[in-house]
Amino acid sequence: MATSSLSVLPHGYRRHSHGVFLLLLFLWQQQLLWSSAGATQLNHSLIDQLNISIPALFVFGDSTVDPGNNNYLPTAFKGNFPPYGLSFSNHIPSGRFTDGKLATDFLVSYLGIKELVPPYLDFTLGVHDLLTGVSFASAGSGYDPLTAQSTSVLPVNQQLNYMKDCLARMESAVGKARAAKIMEESIFLVSAGTNDFVISYFLFPLRRRTFNLEQYQLFIIDQLQVFIKGLYDLGARRILFAGLPPLGCLPIEMTINFANAVLRQCIDSLNLVAVSYNSKLQHMLNKVKESELKDANIVYADIYEPLLDAIKNPNKYGFKQTNVGCCGTGLLEFGLLCNPNTLVCADPSTYVFWDAIHPTQRTYSLIADALIQRVLHLIL
C-alpha cells in the first residue's frame, strides 16, 4: 500500500465522528478494546506424535489475552462483573472481556499444561502457577506507550518487566538452570496492537499530528522489535506474535462510522489498515529471525483470516449474528456498559462478538483451533 494512501484517515472515518465518540467515551468510562458457550474439542495428535512437552505458556498483550490483570489496577477497563463470565462454570466473571475463555485458555489446555492461564497480578498464585505460565496482558494496552497511558493500564514494556520479576521468582524456586530450561522450551504469545490504532491513532489526534498512517505502523513495528529483543534476552526462544484482527468488522467501528451504522458492513478501508500492518509485521519478524536472533523460533500468528472467515461465512460455524455483540444492543456496549443490568442474548455461542468489541468464547475457541492447526507446528 502506497504511503500516500495511508497518510489520511480511512474513508468514512470522519473526525467529527470521533469527536462525538470521544464524548461518549468519557461519559461511559472510556473503554475501547478488541478482545461460546461451547468450546471445541481439540485434537492432541500433533503434540502426541512429536512427543513434545511444553512446560509453560507466557502471555503478553491487551484484552484479547488478559485473564484479569486489570482487576488489580486502578483503571475503568475491567470485565470482572456480570454478565462477563456468563459461560464460565458457575458463571463467574474472571476479568476476561468475554463470556468465558480466551484463545490462550484453549491453547494452554491443548498443550496439556493446565486448564486456564492465570493473571500474573493475582497475589494468590503459587510457584507452580508461575512455572507453568501466566499472562501479563492488560486490557486497553498496546505497543505505543501512549496507549496504556491513556487507559491507565499496563504498557507492554511494563509487562516485560513483570516477566523479569517472574523469572527471578522462578529461579529462586527451582534454580537458574531449570528456570532457563523452562524459558527456552516454553511458548511466549504476544497479542496487541488493536488499541494502538483504534485509540491512539484514530480516536485521539496526538499521534496523527506526528505520523501519517504508514509511519505510525512502522513506529509500532519498531516498538515491537524492541520487545522481541527484551524477551530474547530473558531466554525466550519460542515466540508467537498475533497480528491485527479485521478492525473494520468490530461492531463498535460499524456504529461510530455514521455512514455505515445502518448497513452494518465491515469497513474495508479499516481492514486494509490491518492487512498492511500485518504484512509489515511478518516482514519484520522474518528479518529478525534470519539476521539477528537465528536461534529463536519467531512465528507470525494470523488471527485476521480466521475471524474474517467466521464473519463472512457464519453458517460454516453455526453463527447467527456477526455484526452486533451479544451484550445489550450489541452496537456500543462494552466494559461498564455491559453490566448486570444489561440484557444479554439467549445464546452467546451463536454470536461472533460478545460485546461491541470482544469475541465470544465460541469465537476464541475457533481462533485457538486455527492457531493449533496452522501455526503451532511452526514453533515446536
Residues serving a catalytic function are: 63, 355, 358
**Cβ partners under 8 Å of residue 316, min gap 6:** 309, 310
| HSE value, Cβ hemisphere, 13 Å, CA-based, for 24 | 17
Pairing type for strands 351-353 and 297-301 reads unpaired
CA geometry: angle at 317 spanning 316 and 322, to 5°?
Answer: 100
Instruction: Quote the CA–CA distance of 125 and 92 in Å, as a whole number.
Output: 18
Q: Residue 322: what residue type? A: T
What single DSSP character describes residue 58? Answer: E
Extract the C-alpha cell encoding 97: 472481556
Extract the C-alpha cell encoding 193: 496492537
Is residue 57 within 8 A of residue 117, CB to CB? The reply is yes
Residue 83 burial class via C-beta count within 10 angstroms: exposed 0-12, middle 13-18, buried 19 and up: buried
Where would I find the H helices in the chain? 3-6, 15-27, 45-50, 103-110, 127-131, 145-151, 156-174, 176-185, 194-195, 206-210, 213-234, 251-256, 268-291, 304-312, 314-317, 361-374, 376-379
Place of cell 501519517: 212
Extract the C-alpha cell encoding 266: 465491515
CA torsion sign for 119, 123, 126, 131 is positive
